[in-house]
Amino acid sequence: MKRILIVEDDQSIADLQKDYLELSGFSVAIENTGTDGLQALGKEKFDLVILDIMLPGADGFELLKTIREKEDIPVLLVSARAEEIYKVKGLGLGADDYITKPFSSGELVARVHAHLNKFERMKERFGKGEEGSKVQVRGLELHKEARRVFVNGGEVTMAHKEYDLLLFLMEHPNRVFSKEELFERIWGMDALGDASTVTVHIARIREKIEENPSKPQYIGTVWGSGYRALV
């Protein structure tokens, strides 16, 4: 049974989410502050976190940064703030999804299932070291079994969706993928997601691996079509 942590200061919303998730076969814990959420993560192993942004104590962004320093699990941000700046910040910090309130409980459950299933498939695939244990493109190296990235010999830290997206592109050199195709391949949701998530992740990857992100050497933009690995 997958264990899910909900960090939400509105108890009625948290209880509703918990009820729907438990009806879908998940085990769920609730914390109402960022501080309590951090403590729960330090005491127990969770498979996915549903994280509100506006929280007493440590806010959602602070908690997300801490999770990404220690854990490689899906994190879904939820917020009443629909402004793009919040979405870009959350995805840039390593969130796997950003859901704007109000949303249906059925949609939340569907997103949870999709992220967990995709995460498990990625772990199984890369853990087996399919198609070789290392991908190398000039100064860029991806060590698949360890899920580590090196640029010119120095290690670069990536969120797991950043890693998955980079690896997918590098394993399909010079093929152009639209944002929608990449979203479906990496996030596993063709109808539930926002393809702008891909744009945010590509920008973050470029900041980490490119000497000059405005003149990329590893991931190119094909205007009007999408992105491709420059191999």
Could you list the pLDDT tens digit for every one of the 231 residues in the chain? 899 999 999 999 999 999 999 999 999 999 999 899 989 988 999 999 999 999 988 889 999 988 887 778 899 999 988 888 888 888 878 888 889 888 888 899 999 998 898 888 766 665 554 445 889 899 999 998 888 899 999 999 888 788 989 999 999 988 999 998 898 888 766 445 567 788 989 999 999 999 999 999 999 999 988 999 998
Tell me: do 114 and 134 sit in the same domain. Answer: no
pLDDT at residue 191, as a whole number: 42
Q: Are 180 and 195 in contact (CB under 8 A)?
A: yes
Tell me: do 90 and 132 sit in the same domain: no
* Same domain, yes or no: 104 and 45: yes
- Pair 48, 90 in one domain: yes
CATH code at 156?
1.10.10.10
CA distance 88 to 82: 11
Torsional sign, CA 182, 207, 69, 17: negative
Which of 106, 124, 142 terminates a domain? The answer is 124
Domain end (from 94, 124, 154): 124
| pLDDT value of residue 128 | 52
What pLDDT is stored for residue 37 in this prediction?
Answer: 92
Residue where one domain finishes, among candidates 124, 153, 186: 124
Residues 86 and 46 in one domain: yes
Domain shared by 163 and 190, yes or no:
yes
- Spatial distance between the Cα atoms of 10 and 222, rounded to a whole number of angstroms: 44
pLDDT for residue 193? 55
Q: How many domains does the chain have?
A: 2
Tell me the C-alpha distance between 195 and 109, whole Å. 20
> Is there a single domain that holds both residue 108 and residue 204?
no
- Looking at the structure, tell me whether residues 113 and 195 fall in a common domain: no
Same domain flag for 114 and 139:
no
What does each C-alpha distance from 6 to 51, 142, 200 come to in angstroms? 6, 33, 25
User: How far apart, in whole angstroms, are the C-alpha atoms of residue 51 and residue 37?
Assistant: 9
Enumerate long-range contacts of 17-24, CB under 8 Å, 24 or more apart.
Answer: 17/50, 17/105, 17/108, 19/105, 20/105, 20/106, 20/108, 20/109, 21/108, 21/109, 21/112, 24/109, 24/112, 24/113
Q: Which residue has the tokens 């769920």?
A: 28
Domain that residue 200 falls in: 128-229
Kindly state whether residues 97 and 19 are assigned to the same domain: yes
Question: Are 211 and 149 within one domain?
Answer: yes
Q: Of 125, 6, 7, nearest to 56 (Cα)? A: 7
114 and 24 in one domain? yes
d(Cα 56, Cα 37) in Å, to the nearest integer?
Answer: 11
